Chains A and B, each alone.
Chain A
């Protein structure tokens, strides 16, 4: 994949630093623009390459906030975040973010196919149009997620589960190495859940790194390598008997 000649971000696409973990967040604090309160306090997270780490906690605990900070959507008030050894924003193309459904204008006149294609833009930059390679990647990913039949539908005409799969497809066509997924299995039908789980397993098999916010505690042990528990914006202790796995929190972050 070539770097775009006119990339969107100000910084050129930096190479990964050898030996650096996929994600290293140290004592990160952050807050939303319209609020005085900190949504995230002094949270640390270390995600080794190729691993699958869960962010666990109730609503409002800071899971989405942390993912947004890593994705470069929220400025960090305190602490630092490094992605593959580089600061946030230096390699946008390696980080794919799947938000919760909310913020898109689903009434906009755009087809599913084109929505998914926007995931390729980070590799195109200004002025370049999607080419044959991009179109192939989009078609393949849509096929994997069972969306091919719906390709020409306007996005508002899709069901909730279909929309969720569409957003996942968009994140996947980016071919990023680090995936940040915010509750991907939340509020979708069983069929969609199965499809998505299958795709995620396949990705793990290919060595992609994933940080997934979830509150489905049952699958933690079987699906994840490690988990970070959050409560009210801070790192919390896992409850008695809860899955622990690989150390990913404060201890791990400051050690490496």
Chain B
């Protein structure tokens, strides 16, 4: 038992564990919609789009995090606008926007006098969380969970039957914009806290694992959150005892959980569960 508590004597492990769990749970719950709405590569895309925001902020002497947030939200709204009903498919809109934004970032970088690798500026690591970051992360987690709770039925409905939503006067686009903005805030904050490797994975893998073992949306969110929390802890412990990269360890823990879920699904018989929950 002493061995298990050994890592906890270090402050960076305590804050790291807390951050991994908080960010993990936030992303995992949001990730259920990412997976169900086929937006799997939006995490990676949004991560790339903050580059021009960073560079522009740096060149203008403005706050870096602010620049990243503005760029992220602008991209999210741009994606939403490009893929509004009947125009472009969402994955096309994502691809076009993020490659363009990233190239803009590189272009801006080339105009700066001294070449610096700007993309490193904001990319954090879960071991580098200081207590003031935790406040930021907790606030974001609360914001996301509140949004998902308050607008649960609208998010659910617009995810599988936007036509019916429209027939009721509920603009599916409005809900989508909200989701995209929330995603971009989560990605920006998450990258600053735990790095880009982790963010994309946390938005997809726990939710994907959960989708294999349940047919109930609320249960999917709960299982997804549990997978993320478990992987955060397991990954960090592995990083501590086996001296391996921390972010990668957490991602692989998520992947392992996915593997287990897949096995469970296979053993249950190909048809899977018939009822919801």
**Chain A interfacial positions (CB closer than 8 Å to B):** 7-10, 33-34, 71-73, 89, 92-93, 95, 97, 99, 103-105, 108-111, 114, 118, 121-122, 124, 126-127, 129, 152-154, 157, 170
Contacts and interface: CB of A to CB of B under 8 A. Distances in A.
A36 B274 CA distance: 43
B89 interface: no
Which of B156, B160, B211, B273 is packed against the most chain A CB atoms within 10 Å? B160
A72 B156 contact: no
Given A111-B275, A152-B276, A153-B276, A92 B168 contact: yes
B273 A122 contact: no
B92 interface: no
A121 B166 contact: no
Contact of B167 (A7, A73, A109, A110): A73
Contact of A10 (B36, B169, B211): B169
Contacts of B276: 109-111, 114, 152-154
Contact of A152 (B161, B168, B275): B275
Interface string B142-174: 000000001101101101110110111111000
A189 B194 CA distance: 55
Q: Is the interface of A mostly helix, strand, loop or mixed?
A: loop
A35 to B, nearest CB: 10
24 contacts: A7-B169, A9-B168, A34-B86, A72-B169, A92-B167, A95-B167, A97-B167, A99-B164, A108-B36, A109-B36, A109-B216, A110-B160, A110-B276, A111-B215, A111-B216, A111-B275, A118-B161, A118-B164, A124-B153, A127-B150, A152-B276, A152-B277, A154-B273, A154-B275
Given A121-B153, A152-B276, A103 B161 contact: yes
Which of B36, B163, B214, B277 is packed against the most chain A CB atoms within 10 Å? B163
Q: Interface size bucket, B side?
A: 20 to 34
B169 A9 contact: yes
A135 to B, nearest CB: 14
Contacts of A72: 166-167, 169
Nearest to A71: B167
A118 B274 CA distance: 21
Nearest to B86: A33
Contacts, number: 89
A122 B217 CA distance: 21
A170 B275 CA distance: 19
Contacts of A121: 153-154, 157, 168, 170
B168 A8 contact: yes
Contacts of B171: 8
Which of A109, A121, A122, A152 is packed against the most chain B CB atoms within 10 Å? A109
B85 interface: yes
Contacts of B153: 118, 121, 124, 129
Given A33-B87, A103-B161, 20 more contacts: A7-B169, A9-B168, A9-B170, A73-B166, A97-B167, A103-B163, A104-B160, A104-B161, A105-B160, A108-B160, A109-B214, A109-B220, A111-B215, A118-B153, A121-B157, A124-B153, A152-B275, A153-B274, A153-B275, A154-B275
B156 to A, nearest CB: 7
Contacts of A71: 167
B189 to A, nearest CB: 26
B24 to A, nearest CB: 21
B160 A126 contact: no
B33 to A, nearest CB: 11
Which of B86, B161, B214, B220 is packed against the most chain A CB atoms within 10 Å? B161
Nearest to B166: A73
A126 B147 CA distance: 12
B274 A154 contact: yes
A157 B273 CA distance: 9
Nearest to B36: A108
A4 to B, nearest CB: 10
Which of A7, A118, A153 is packed against the most chain B CB atoms within 10 Å? A118
6 cross-chain pairs, A with B, having the tightest CB-CB distances, nearest first:
A9-B169, A108-B160, A33-B86, A111-B276, A8-B170, A8-B169
Interface in B64-85: 85
A125 to B, nearest CB: 9
Contacts of A10: 169
A127 B170 CA distance: 13
A72 B170 CA distance: 11
A92 B163 contact: no
